[in-house]
Structure 1
Amino acid sequence: MRKVMVVDDEKWVRRGLIQSIPWDKLGLQLVGEAADGQDAYDMALELRPDLLFLDMRMPGLDGRELLARMDAELPELLTIVVSGYSDFEYTKQAIIHHAFDYLLKPVKKDELAEVLDKAVVELERREGERRKVEEANRSDGWFRDLLLERAGQGRESGSIPASWAGKAAAVFVVQADLYRDDQGGGAVLLRSLRDKLVRERAFYFGGAWEAALSPLPDGRSGAVGAVAVASGQLPPGELKRLLEAVQAELKRLAGCGYSIGVCETALAEAGWLKRALEQALAALAGRKLSEKEAVLLASVSAAGAGSSVSPPYPHRHEQAFLLALQMGNREEAEREFELLLRSIGDESATVGQLKQGAILLVHALERHLRANDSGLEQTCGKPPLELIEALRDRGDPGSVRALFVEELIPAMLASIQQQGATQGELIVREMQRMIESHYDQPLSLQHIAESRFVNADYLSRLFKKMTGQNFVDYLADTRIRKAIELMRVPTYKNYEIARKVGYEDYRYFSQIFKKKTGKTLGEFRSSLE
């Protein structure tokens, strides 16, 4: 029995409606009636009726506001508005908020019967569509099972349903162009998309095709789907039209654009789904950051990827970024991070290159912290693997920036400042590690002291007390030691070594080298032979 509620502030109107409806004949059941909007709202949320008769003019929460709430919270509810001749504005609001139909007071029996017949037909139609969707959900179980199977089990070819066997197929992956922190929203989108495919089956491939959908098996945002047709080959024009319809539906539901990676495949081959999924994901990873709402074919994307050269990872910006963090300078750290992000995430870069660069930076942060007897998990509460998984979902520079600028950089700076405030000796040890790691960059004791809110004269005296040298001599000795190590590589020129250890002025480097070693560069290199 389908459940019905009647809402009107006039009892005689409610009684008249209730007595005029042939309940048993239409398979309807009265589950509640209310005289004001607030009671009706609470009752509807509890009883979840299929059909609602609603008077638009009521005290308190009126029909217009109640209808808007019902449209938002119970979108499947059919609402029949009951209105007086003078309530035209209310009737207009009923149309805006998707009321199914309306009746004018006083309600005539023949008009009521006509509206009820239409409502029952609509309810039956919706129930039929729901059954189709539920059947589609059940039929997609094999698809999810194959996605979750471990590689190498060798059962895939035997797990394909009979309705799919021997058909040409394509596997596609859909992911939002911009990262959405939407926990749980993906399941709703998937159900709505599956519903659309069921409803519009007749409009593609002559109606003779199969479809399956599932969340991505590794927990990433997005979905994976497959379509199959009985003909020997998927008509490319029809496939493109279907995928564009999928994009349009997802954009309507989620309010953002989606790109699709697609791979045509043969169902009869063992391991077909795993390989096709990998190729579809690779196609998506090859999307240029400047491309939006793209449909990328695996074969074309693979060819394009092979012909392009990945830009080199910006190690220099990475080192400058780590140095700024270690010195506690947030402004400088964010500036260096922006330069690094611009290098790995400009519009000519691909989604895959952006993610790979960001992942490499996470590894660099972990190594840097490990050298200081710490780690990302202790510093920001998330281990490296969790951060890497978070980055796999982020295919746009803005979301990568948010992860670093809003989470990682503040957490690391807070940790560094907390350690530095414990005692001056910790700062000196950090300075020694800083010199060891960043001897090739401009280093200033004054800059370090300011960034750590420590008096420079005090820090200078403390440094000499702990190391036996002043800061300048300690840095120079480290650079000369590193230069001697590089001299053992015959291919390095002396001016190249100078730059690698932090001296842009080759002549000054030569003077410092002789002062520290007692030999010229040439004499020292000769002694190594």
Structure 2
Amino acid sequence: MFNVLIIDDEPWSREVVKALGPWDRLELRVVGEAEDGNEGLRKIEELQPDIVVTDMRMPGTDGVELLEAMRSRWPQLKIIVMSGYDDFIYLKQAIRSKAIEYLLKPISPEELEAALKQSKKELEAARKSEAQSLSPLFPNRAALQRYAEQRERLYASLLELNRERAEEAFDHLHREMRSTDESEAKEGQEGRVTADLTLMLEQFLSQQSLTLGQLHPESEQFSSPGGSEALRGARELYGRAIDALLELRHSRSRLDMAEVANYIDARYQEAISLESVAGQFLISKEHLSRMFKAFAGENLSDYIVRRRMEKAKALIAEEGVSIKHAAQLVGYEDIAYFYRVFKKHYGMTPGELRKDG
């Protein structure tokens, strides 16, 4: 069974998706909901869904920023995009992010089912391909299943930065390798398993814009160990990577939030987000979000929106700039969406502001 996350700022819209999807028949399960992009990213990290059904127009981190973040950090995710507008900008971003389907609201049950079926089909194909690539490493299906379980534990240890959990998984793998009778088969199996685990670690780091060499220059010597030392080398490689990531997290905790605010103030008119700012300062988005809220009294995404709205208001009311041009100057190409955010922020539309002024 595959898991699904629904992201939409309108509660009724999320309810519609849940009501229309043939979840049981397709053997899919809705594991969570989120009302904006920021919460969506947190839920993806927490729940690890296989499929994400998301709206494009949301406060804070909108659909465009969300798609970029998902494609960068979780390229294996299957994405279904919803929008109330046949908007070329959104469609272009959906295509670039390799979304399964771009559904116009109100969505039909048939279109949603077709998109879900295609997502499931691609997930099953990927799972089958992975199983086929790993199956030559093991003498039987039971051994393959045991390896897959420890592989998942190792990935979880990376997400948690838990060295003890990683070492427990390697202990299990070591016992599994020792059960192989023939020494040549054992040596070849260890080498191939190590290559697979090293690739998984490199892919994990890549999702965070890091490499093994960046974390620890000496770690690269363990990237391709051979013979009986293969698994021991992989164990040390994972341990060093986790230790380096923990140290990196600790050093980033001293980040000056005033510097972050100055960075945003200079670039709020660009396509910046919690994700991109966290990447710029080499800090996890969760940690940045907590630190920035403690510093500024509001979350980072709201701060970006407030700075954009303050500048837009000044451009329209004080400098006589057209509403469309003001929207573009503060980073909004979608004028209708700009109107929506502006009204939510000030309780009036840009046109009403100009009229009152």
| TM-score of Structure 1 vs Structure 2, range by shorter chain | 0.3 to 0.5
Instruction: Compute the TM-score of the two structures, normalised by the length of structure 1.
Output: 0.29
Q: Please say which structure displays the higher CA radius of gyration.
A: 1
Going by fraction, where is helix more abundant, 1 or 2? 2
Higher relative contact order (CA 8 A, sep 6+): 2
| TM superposition score normalised by structure 2 | 0.42
More strand by share: 1
